[in-house]
Amino acid sequence: MKHLLLLILFFTGISGCDIASSPGQNEVTCSCEGSSRPVDPALLSFLSKARAAHRQADALEGQKDRAGALAALNTLVSGPIPSKRSEIDEVLADTRARMAELQSTLGQWDAAEKEIERGLQHAPDTSYFRGHLFEVRAVVEEQRAASLTADPTAAAAARVRAIEAAEQAIKIQDQVLRKTLEKEAP
Amino acid sequence: MSRISRSFLLFVLLTSAACSSQRNMASPPASASTESPSAVSPSKSDSAPTSAPPSGATGMGLAPSEKENPSTGGAISGQLPVLPREVQIANATLLLEHEFLQLQASLSTCENACRVLASMERATRVLCSLTQGEERVRCEDARKRLKEARSRVRDACKECSNGVNTDPENPEP
């Protein structure tokens, strides 16, 4: 949550004057005269909504109300999404990953996998968010495998998927880490 | 974090101020248009394209019309020109945005590295809990990668505020 909050703060900061709103839409834009870069109220509104949804999900998860937390996050992903931007995609990928985790704890394996697939569409390139989605897939499949005691074949298949997803997550995050720390190196 | 919060707050306030100023200019009193011909026209997205911004607004200079307009604090002989309020705000906004981005980038490297490390650790835990027999080599490979990653994060960041272990010799997971 802390990271998401930082992410949202960061993007809200950037969006102050950075967002070129979609032309032709009836949005109230606010042009920052000096930079000719208008504020996009739709983006700010979405980020604000994202923060509120995750906070609500935190509170509900704290009360062990996982279905409620899932519903809170669903309002974000099923609502209007502003024009396509990388920061929006990152928020959505992170939210889908969290939803998949929640669904997994509810035993909704297929729904969790669907969330992961949707999340991966928002994180097509090597990034923390893509790696995190594979990591969540590994956890989901591990839990699915553990639940399939009555079906050893299906359990073995889930186990294989979990191992492959975990390896993929490790590979992606290793690349992300190298890139992240390369930037910092003198 | 407090520095980021302060910068962010300042940035938002300045941006809002700049925007308020812009909104005020978007619906000036009837006489205003005659006082400042270079004033920005209303920039509603569904209207005609916004006119070019005044030349002074794109940099540190003043728009010619503003130099001539005493009401906006134009140049007076013997004194430094006073920039119009909206130009000052816009310039301050840009400076602050730049500072904010630099600050955020410098502070986030270790936070990013630590969350990546946490993800690697969780994935390794899953992998090692599921592999057995000949597959064990896959777990050992993952552990080796994790160990190297911890070492790199420790070198760059020492510790992680999210509680992730950065000790390369840590046998877990």
pLDDT tier for residue B147 given thresholds of 50, 70 and 90: very high
Task: Provide mean pLDDT across the span B17-29.
Answer: 44
Question: In this predicted model, which residue has the larger pLDDT, B90 or B83?
Answer: B83
* Distances in whole angstroms, Cα of residue B142 to Cα of each of A26, A55, A159, B36: 51, 34, 17, 67
Task: Provide mean pLDDT across the span B30-36.
Answer: 35
By C-alpha distance, the chain B residue nearest A139 is: B126
By CB neighbour count within 10 A (0-12 exposed, 13-18 middle, 19+ buried), where does B173 fall?
A: middle
Torsion angle, CA of B164/B165/B166/B168, rounded to 10 degrees? -140
Task: Provide mean pLDDT across the span B77-99.
Answer: 70
Token pair recorded at residue A117: 């697939």
Q: What phi and psi values does residue A51 have, to the nearest 5 degrees?
A: -60, -45
- What contacts B31, CB < 8 A, 6 or more positions away? none
Q: How close is the nearest chain B Cα to the Cα of A1, in Å?
A: 11
Judge: A128–B122 Cβ closer than 8 Å, yes or no: no
B123 → closest Cβ in A36, A166, A183: A166
| Overall size of chain A counted in residues | 186
Residue type at B155 in one-letter notation? D
pLDDT tier for residue B137 given thresholds of 50, 70 and 90: very high
Q: Which residues of A touch B122 (CB under 8 A)?
A: 135, 138-139
Judge: B120–A145 Cβ closer than 8 Å, yes or no: no
Contacts 24+ apart (CB under 8 A), B137-140: B138/A163, B138/A167
Rg of the Cα atoms in chain B: 28
Residue type at A131 in one-letter notation? G
Token pair recorded at residue B166: 């950065």
ipTM over 0.90: no
**Nearest residue to A73 via CA among A51, A103, A110, A99:** A99
What is the structure's pLDDT at A17? 36
Q: Which residues of A touch B120 (CB under 8 A)?
A: 131, 169-170, 173-174, 177
Q: Is the pLDDT of residue B54 over 90?
A: no
